Amino acid sequence: MKRLKKPPLVRKWYYCPYCHTKIAVYDNTAKAAGVYIKCRTCKKEVEIRI
């Protein structure tokens, strides 16, 4: 029986495009569109597209 190899997970930070503060952590298997998060530093709403 062969074991399937899992792709290596790479975790990255998503940065605010306005003030460059770290907003969220995601990995290389994530897919997101239409997700809005409010930045804690500049208080602007940011759409996350991964």
DSSP string, 7-23: PPP-EEEEEPTTT--EE
Q: Answer yes or no: is 27 within a domain.
A: yes
Q: How many domains does the chain have?
A: 1
Q: Answer yes or no: is 4 within a domain.
A: no
What is the CB neighbour count within 10 angstroms for residue 23?
A: 19
Q: Are 24 and 36 in contact (CB under 8 A)?
A: no
Q: Counting every residue, how long is the chain? A: 50
Q: Answer yes or no: is 30 within a domain.
A: yes
- Containing structural domain, residue 30: 11-48
pTM of the entire predicted model: 0.75
Alpha-carbon distance 45 to 23, whole Å?
A: 11
Q: How confident is the model at residue 39 (pLDDT cuts 50, 70, 90)?
A: very high
Q: How confident is the model at residue 46 (pLDDT cuts 50, 70, 90)?
A: very high
In this prediction, residue 8 carries a pLDDT of: 78
